[in-house]
Structure 1
């Protein structure tokens, strides 16, 4: 019997209105814009993925992602076997264009999961130690002992981001999100170092039962970061971690911040790929890493990043850009299958007025609910 092959790669642009503007040190947006891709095999099975537009972090645009998917990525996929061997073809098809690679890679994993008749989480757990990463290293995903009773995962917890704003704005938002049931809040800082401590204190007072995380999105200098964080420590503020306090390439500065204040440092923009992660580890610049599919190029490279981080004793978090429910579903499945504890950083879909898809994940407060369906459970884009 002939094995199925990939016969088509199709794209569609989707624009998702947000119910509240999303503001960071790098950008402000009122929409999530993405390129949705489908990969179809010769048996008519279809996998879904998306390429979010992330101008200010990865440099990826809708036009660029669509061109990469319709051109070089489609060129290498069409005619290839409809299995995970095609993942290497995706990563080698074009330089950069990580959002486009994410879309194709997620769609490939979704296709394989659907062909197997299991959920995306189940598919990733089924890799069970024989997954071979892009570097050729065998990467364990989930041990058999852990999943001996089957696939119990029905949800993943996420934090909630508080956009950049005044202390009063942040306090109001923090109280509202606490009422919504969120127990971990990530405060966006980095636009004004002189006022950042006041913002954090306002959130602490407004949501005293919540775990707090900070994210400067590269917005501080090293000395500013140390000053702000020292002030917060003097005020007995408890922080789970401080994310990307300084510029992406300033690993020396990030290591300085790590040494000179008491809070753990989480690398985000500093880690796109395995080479970046190795540089961070060698520099002693971070205690943990935020792995995002749109930064690294999909599930396949993300699995390897998470495993290397684990082997070197770094904490791990699965995060997102401003993806829609499709990309969030893939990232949440990855977090579940790799057994990462705690609240992940996957609130992007919550900001959408509605999911633009038929099927897929849903939100119940801080809980991301997996569909009872094969793959990601996406069946179409709503009109």
Structure 2
């Protein structure tokens, strides 16, 4: 089998409501959909959702990188040979994990369709039957976040991820308000997205949150401050998770060696796709570190790819892949049994792509043959 064409569709996915994190507010999500054709007539879809604040990539940059660098190097290659595909991409350009993830995901979709198996069967087989869905609370006033959490409880949700990372004092108020509203039996995870900047601010906040019974606090300090995470870990009993500070195998090794966190958040857009994500999960398993699969708020395509990784690994105990639930229009049909996600046994990613909607949402497109 050979790759004969790579189509690029830069799109904007419309959100029901703005998505607000510590460093940005999104009115829609810019995404790059990749469609790979083969000489056997099998087509695979991939996705790259770039975040300038995390990997240094943008929608425009990954479009150009794939068009001018990755795609020309991959035409004529066998998409089944994923180790070679990644080697070619890594030799073609340093970094650019989101661009590589889009290619990787499309290749796995092709592999699954060729073998007539879901992707999770190609990377270890199915381990989990289902995952509970965690509702993500965007940054807002304490009362508004608490009210939204209460509404989601009525819909069956039993865990929340709170986005914070502005003013420490205000963030503490937000977390305390949500805990008071939902009660003690509901799981609360706090994602700071680097917003508390350093270990000093974080320690102040965590000392005030000791009675809030938090599952964990995620990435309170700037991404590269692994030593800051080590200091926090030594001075609090609240479990810590690293997200933006983990991109690839080098960072995972440092996290393990320094015992910088109890948990890690693996995202396909940060590490380069399904194949590198599986490698990170194996590294974490060797060190006894629990993993979560997260997302950059992706469509059904990218979200399904993350779910396939999560469902295949025992060490992955949580998922946060709720992008399709946030969009008023999606290019795929990934199905959620709210408040759970249960994957089907359909081949490949198991997602049917609506080409009409894809074309409708496209703002820039090209093809490399």
Q: Could you tell me the TM-score, scaled by structure 2's length?
A: 0.91
Residue 279 of structure 2, aligned match among 299, 304, 324: 304
Q: Post-superposition shift, 1:10?
A: 1.1
Paired residue for 1:95? 94
After superposition, residues 329-368 of structure 1 pair within 5 angstroms as 329-340=304-315, 342-357=317-332, 359=333, 361-368=334-341
Aligned residue for 1:346, secondary structure, equals coil
Paired residue for 2:239? 264
Task: Tell me, in whole angstroms, the C-alpha distance in 2 between the residues paired with 1:350 and 1:108.
Answer: 25
Paired residue for 1:228? 205
Number of residue equivalences: 352
Task: Tell me, in whole angstroms, the C-alpha distance in 2 between the residues paired with 1:331 and 1:274.
Answer: 18
Aligned residue for 2:352, secondary structure, equals strand
Task: Tell me, in whole angstroms, the C-alpha distance in 2 between the residues paired with 1:334 and 1:277.
Answer: 17
Task: Tell me, in whole angstroms, the C-alpha distance in 1 between the residues paired with 2:85 and 2:162.
Answer: 39
Q: Deviations over 1:296-317 (max 9, x none)?
A: 1101111111110110121111
* CA root-mean-square deviation: 1.7
Paired residue for 2:362? none
Q: Mean alpha-carbon deviation: is it higher for 70-79 or for 42-51?
A: 70-79
After superposition, residues 166-181 of structure 1 pair within 5 angstroms as 166-181=141-156
Task: Tell me, in whole angstroms, the C-alpha distance in 1 between the residues paired with 2:289 and 2:234.
Answer: 16
User: Compared with structure 1, are the counterparts of its residues 327 and 113 closer, same or farther at alpha carbon in structure 2 (3 Å cutoff)?
Assistant: same
Paired residue for 1:86? 85
Task: Tell me, in whole angstroms, the C-alpha distance in 2 between the residues paired with 1:92 and 1:297.
Answer: 14
1:379 equivalent to 2:352? Answer yes
Q: Mean alpha-carbon deviation: is it higher for 220-229 or for 278-287?
A: 278-287
Paired residue for 2:31? 34
Q: Mean alpha-carbon deviation: is it higher for 343-352 or for 31-40?
A: 343-352
After superposition, residues 70-219 of structure 1 pair within 5 angstroms as 70-83=67-80, 84=82, 85-125=84-124, 155-208=130-183, 209-219=185-195
Task: Tell me, in whole angstroms, the C-alpha distance in 2 between the residues paired with 1:157 and 1:354.
Answer: 23
On the 8 A contact 2:290/2:317 being kept in 1, the answer is no
Task: Tell me, in whole angstroms, the C-alpha distance in 1 between the residues paired with 2:24 and 2:193.
Answer: 10
RCO higher in structure (CA 8 A, sep ≥6): 2
Q: Deviations over 1:116-151 (max 9, x none)?
A: 00112222235xxxxxxxxxxxxxxxxxxxxxxxx5
Task: Tell me, in whole angstroms, the C-alpha distance in 2 between the residues paired with 1:58 and 1:370.
Answer: 29
On the 8 A contact 1:329/1:376 being kept in 2, the answer is yes
Q: Post-superposition shift, 1:326?
A: 0.8
Q: Mean alpha-carbon deviation: is it higher for 266-275 or for 204-213?
A: 204-213
Q: Deviations over 1:141-197 (max 9, x none)?
A: xxxxxxxxxx58664333121111111111011111212211110111111101222
Aligned residue for 1:378, secondary structure, equals coil
Paired residue for 2:363? none
Gap regions ≥5 residues in structure 2: 358-369
Aligned residue for 2:53, secondary structure, equals coil
Task: Tell me, in whole angstroms, the C-alpha distance in 2 between the residues paired with 1:89 and 1:313.
Answer: 32
Higher helix share: 2
Q: Could you tell me the TM-score, scaled by structure 1's length?
A: 0.88
Gap regions ≥5 residues in structure 1: 127-150
Task: Tell me, in whole angstroms, the C-alpha distance in 2 between the residues paired with 1:324 and 1:364.
Answer: 17
On the 8 A contact 2:19/2:27 being kept in 1, the answer is yes
Paired residue for 1:44? 41
Paired residue for 1:148? none
Residue 291 of structure 1, aligned match among 253, 258, 266: 266
Task: Tell me, in whole angstroms, the C-alpha distance in 2 between the residues paired with 1:192 and 1:369.
Answer: 38
Task: Tell me, in whole angstroms, the C-alpha distance in 1 between the residues paired with 2:313 and 2:5.
Answer: 30
On the 8 A contact 1:90/1:104 being kept in 2, the answer is no
